[in-house]
Structures are given as C-alpha cells and as structure tokens.
Amino acid sequence: MRRVLITGGGSGIGRSIAHSFADAGEAVTIVGRRADALEETANRHEMTCIPVDITDENAVNALFDEPFDVVVANAGQGRAAPLTEISLEEWSTTLAVNLTGTFLTFRAALRNMPSGGRLIAIASTQALKGGGRIAAYAASKHGVLGLVRSVAQEVARRGITCNAICPGFVDTPMAEAAVKSVMRGRGLGRQAAENMVVSNNPVGRLITTEEVASAAVYLASSGAAMINGHALSLSGGEI
C-alpha cells in the first residue's frame, strides 16, 4: 500500500482523485483550507484529513515528516477578468496558490520521496496556450508546466517521475462560475452558455472529474514509469 497525498482534496478534481486512489487500496491523505470539505470527501473512505494552506511554507514542510510515494499538487484557483481589471493582490494570490503552492509541495515531497515516487501537477490546457481574460491563471499554469519539466530532469535518475495533467473545462465549481458569467454577460440560457464555454473542446462537453482522476491514477502506476516531464492534454482534442 502506497502513501498518497493530494492537495486541494476537499472538492472537485481533488475529491475524485482522492476517491480513485482510495478505491485502488492506497493510503490517502488529503489537504486543503476547509476542514468540512475534507471531511466530506473522506466520508466514502478512511482518509487522513489535514487542513493546510499550501502557500504556508512551514505548514507544507510539516506534511512530509514521513515520505509519500505519490504526491498530487491539485490545489488551485482562478477567475476570468480582463488584464486591466486584475489587481496586483489578485495576481499575486493566483500565482501563490497555483504556482508557489506546487513548488512548495514538490520541494518538500522530494526531500524524502523514495525511488518509484510520482509527482503529478494538475495544470490546465491554459498551461499550453493563452486565452483572453485569464492572464493570471494562464501565467500561473504556464509556470507550473515549466516547473514540472525542470523537476522531471532532476529526479529521473532517482526513479521518480514528474508530470502534469492539462485538462480543459472540467465539471467543477470553477466551470460553473464560468458558465454563470457567460449567462450574465451575454444574456444566454444555461445550455447555450455551457455550449459556449466548451466550444473549444471538439467533444463538446465538460470533462468529468473522474476522467482527470483516471489520468492521475495511470501516471502514478508502474506502467507509466517512462512518462516523465509530460503535459498530458485531457481536452477532447482541443490541444
């Protein structure tokens, strides 16, 4: 049984990843800012729940008193807005959570991660391209991908891999916020707004959290030992 740590494990993609690893018989620890959300995730399985702000260096370091075999850096945030409406505070917070949080998590994990370990970052298709009204989010996710590719080079000879999953719009509260924003801004009904949000995905629907979780479980498997420094586009052919 491997020890698996998932940041942002209280909801959305992180919750599905936690359930998938637990279903596979792994010992799962989930962390996040909201204790109630973590406990709700853990209702289906026996998991360790630790409320942590992943931008807090000391708190992140304390998570790794014992080594983890698989670490999934999933915690993230983002908001759609024109560049001229993004404050310095919002810019800094977005980078702190999405990029610095991943850096702190991976750095602490690598200090005692055993051979065969797996580092996985949940990035985005926006790590692979730009997009209007998402400058802070896209910049942070581009940074995550650069971090992943660099770390992969460092850890390969230790038998550790570091990869990123880059999903398009996933059926999460973040996607729901995007749909509602389109509804308000363009006066559209819900289905029309959702169709607009997923218009770049050739499959024409939101990605499920379970589909992202399946990719994470695969990248953590022994069969993925030679996949390293890779950005796995999970986007129906968008990228």
Q: Dump pLDDT digits (tens) for 82-102.
A: 999 999 999 999 999 999 999
Q: How many domains does the chain have?
A: 1
Looking at the domain assignment, is residue 215 inside a domain? yes
Looking at the domain assignment, is residue 201 inside a domain? no
Looking at the domain assignment, is residue 191 inside a domain? no
Question: Which residue, chain included where needed, has tokens 């509602």?
Answer: 180
Q: 138 vs 19, 79, 81, 101, 205, CA distance in Å?
A: 28, 10, 12, 15, 21
Q: Dump pLDDT digits (tens) for 114-139.
A: 999 999 999 999 999 988 889 999 99
Looking at the domain assignment, is residue 202 inside a domain? no
Residue 97 DSSP symbol? I
Q: Which of 84, 91, 79, 238 is nearest to 168 (CA)?
A: 238
Looking at the domain assignment, is residue 190 inside a domain? no
Instruction: Give the domain CATH number at 112.
Output: 3.40.50.720
H helices of 135-221, in order, are 135-155, 173-186, 190-197, 209-219
Going by pLDDT thresholds of 50, 70 and 90, the confidence category of residue 59 is: very high
Q: Dump pLDDT digits (tens) for 140-159.
A: 999 999 999 999 999 999 99
**Percent share of the chain, pLDDT over 70:** 100
Q: Dump pLDDT digits (tens) for 168-183.
A: 999 998 888 889 988 9
* Catalytic site positions: 137
- Under a CB-based contact definition with an 8 Å cutoff, are residues 107 and 119 in contact? no
pLDDT at 44 over 90: no
Q: What domain range is 21 assigned to? A: 3-170+208-234
Going by pLDDT thresholds of 50, 70 and 90, the confidence category of residue 67 is: very high
Q: What value does the mean pLDDT of the chain take?
A: 96
Looking at the domain assignment, is residue 197 inside a domain? no
Identity of residue 55: T
Average pLDDT in the 18-37 region? 98
| pTM, rounded to two decimals | 0.97
